[in-house]
Amino acid sequence: MNDDAPKDPLALGLGSLGGGAGFGSAFMTMSQIALRLLQDQFERIGYQILTAGVIAAVGVGGAYGWYRSFDLDNVWQRGVIAVLASVGALLIGFMAAPLDGFFGIAGMLVWLALNVAFGVASARWAMKGKGEEGSGTGVA
C-alpha cells in the first residue's frame, strides 16, 4: 500500500458493505434460479437449495464485508459492516423472488447480473477509499 495515498474511511466502509451485500445477494439469487430450474424436484431438494442459498448469502456477505474493511482502525466498525452486509445480502437476494413471478428466469438472471455489477462497483469504491496505488486516487 502506498502510504502517501489518502485513506477515506467512509468510502472504505460503505464500499465494503455494498460489496458484501452485492456478492452475497448474487449467491442467494443463484439458489433461487437453481430452485426454479429444478422446481419439479422441489419436494426432494427444494429446501436444501434455499438453505444453501441463505447460508451462502450470509457467509459471503459477512466475510467479504469483513475482509474488504480490513484497513479500518476500529474492529467494531468492521463487525457492524460485516453484519449489515449479511443482512443486506439476504434482503437484496430475496427480492429476486417477485421477479420470477413477473419476468421469469430471464428477470432473475438480469437481477443476478445487477447484483454482481453492484458488488464490483462497491468493491472498487472500497479499494479507492483504502488508498491503494493504482486504484484511481490520482496518487502514484
- Residue extents of the structural domains in the chain: 9-130
Percent of the chain with pLDDT over 70: 89
pLDDT at 90: 95
What b-and-e string marks burial along 76-101, b requiring 16 or more CB atoms within 10 Å of the CB?
Answer: eebeebbbbbbbbbbebbbebeebbe
Cβ atoms 9, 72 nearer than 8 A: yes
Tell me the pLDDT tens digit for each residue of 75-100: 999 999 999 999 999 999 999 889 88
In sequence order, which residues have a C-beta less than 8 Å from that of residue 124 and are 6 or more positions away? 15, 135, 136
Any idea which of 46-50, 101-105, 129-133 has the lowest mean pLDDT? 129-133
CA 20 to chain centre: 3
Read off the C-alpha cell for 101. Answer: 413471478
pLDDT of residue 140: 46
**pTM (predicted TM-score):** 0.85
Cα–Cα distances in angstroms (integers) from residue 124 to residues 11, 14, 54, 108, in the given order: 10, 11, 25, 24
Assign 87 to helix, strand or coil.
helix
